[in-house]
Amino acid sequence: MAPSDDLADHVPPGQAPSMKQVIEGLHARGIRTGLGAFNPPGTRPPLIGLAVPEDFALPPGYVRHHQATDDGQRIEAILMFAPDFRLFDAQGREIPLPADRVVPPELAPPGLPLRRITLPPPRQGE
């Protein structure tokens, strides 16, 4: 019989596991649907980078990356390089890009205010 993705079948009555415990328990049972389709909270921390205002016109090769905290709060968009973008210096040599594609201040497009995002504090009581 296939494992059930009904949460009531996996949490004993009277217990109140954290969402991380629930998702890890579902994954341990091979369940990847419903809540099991998500990664446990805290397993993929948000990327920290330069804030990019919504009204800032991005040149080719740059993208806005939108994220949310584990508790669902929106985080300011950060500036990243597009997946297929290549950057060259004045002599035509390719400039290596960061593996995570987050744009460092020295490679930001002209005119972008250089300000790093800050993460909102976790919501209390949720």
The whole-number pLDDT of residue 48 equals 96
Query: Which range, of 7-11, 31-35, 93-97, averages the lowest pLDDT?
Result: 7-11
When the pLDDT of each residue in the chain is averaged and rounded to a whole number, the result is 87
Most confident of the following: 17-21, 25-29, 54-58, 122-126: 54-58
In this model, does residue 12 exceed pLDDT 80? no
Q: Are strands 74-81 and 87-88 parallel, antiparallel or unpaired?
A: unpaired
Which helix or strand (DSSP H or E) is residue 64 part of? Answer: strand 62-68
Assign 7 a pLDDT band (cuts: 50, 70, 90).
low
In this model, does residue 122 exceed pLDDT 90? no
pLDDT tens digits along 75-116: 999 999 999 999 999 999 999 999 999 999 999 999 999 999
The whole-number pLDDT of residue 4 equals 63
